[in-house]
Amino acid sequence: MNSHDNCIFCKIVAGQIPSRKVYEDDDMMAFHDIHPKAPVHFLLIPKSHVDSLAECGPAEGEVLARMMLKVPELARAAGCGNGFRTVINTGPDGGQEVYHLHVHVLGGPRNQWKVSLP
């Protein structure tokens, strides 16, 4: 059994767990966070399992670049024309809870966020 066999995000990619999809192509998928911290809060993940940003190497470079270039497009489409925040939690001390690389994209009026901003 591979470590990704029990990965909730791999199961979402496989269609075994429902999600509120924002975007999907051959390499990545975006869906709404089930515990949103802002009026707009979705996750963007690579479809191929990689535990965290710390585990990425040259093989993940192209999909990482495509993901980062997709974020502004998806954020604008979600109504974040006045800005957005991206967060990648990495490892236990970085607050990572699901060990499948994912980018949080948060936006909307700052006074409606459930997290404090510096």
Structure token digits, residue 50: 């990689």
- In three-state form (DSSP H/G/I as H, E/B as E, the rest C), the secondary structure along the chain is CCHHHHCHHHHHHCCCCCCCEEEECCCEEEEECCCCCCCEEEEEEECCCCCCHHHCCHHHHHHHHHHHHHHHHHHHHCCCCCCEEEECCCCHHHCCCCCCCCEEEEECCHHHCCCCCC
Residue 102: active-site member = yes
Catalytic residue (choose from 41, 49, 100, 102): 102
Q: Which residues are catalytic?
A: 102
